[in-house]
Amino acid sequence: MSTLQLTKENFDEVVSEIDFVLVDFWADWCPPCRMFDPIFEAASERHPDLVFGKVDTMAQPELAQTFKVQSIPTLAIIRNQVTIFAQPGALPESALEDLIVQARKVDMDEVRTRSAK
């Protein structure tokens, strides 16, 4: 599956309708972002059951600000409308794969219980 371009117009709809979304906050001028792009795209092909979205931080500064993005690339994982991971830095392929495996294992009922406290 190819990645979706996420904007302030479609972001809420995507994350409310999709249970598992990986979001790459990037900018065209950023060399590490360009290095991470093919890794992110390849992962989207290997995981067609997940949604991979990209936020151009130059075109969508409001979304970057909402996620408190201070460095790019930043990767976020949103499951059931809850951000369970957000971290700056370009990941190598193996680390991204491991992160996806770990994110699939997260017990979202437990996350909601903890966040309700």
Q: Which residues are catalytic?
A: 30, 33
Q: Quick check: helix, strand or coil at residue 89?
A: coil
Residue 90: exposure state from Cβ atoms within 10 A (0-12, 13-18, ≥19): buried
* Contact status, residue 21 vs residue 77, Cβ threshold 8 Å: yes
* Contact status, residue 2 vs residue 44, Cβ threshold 8 Å: yes
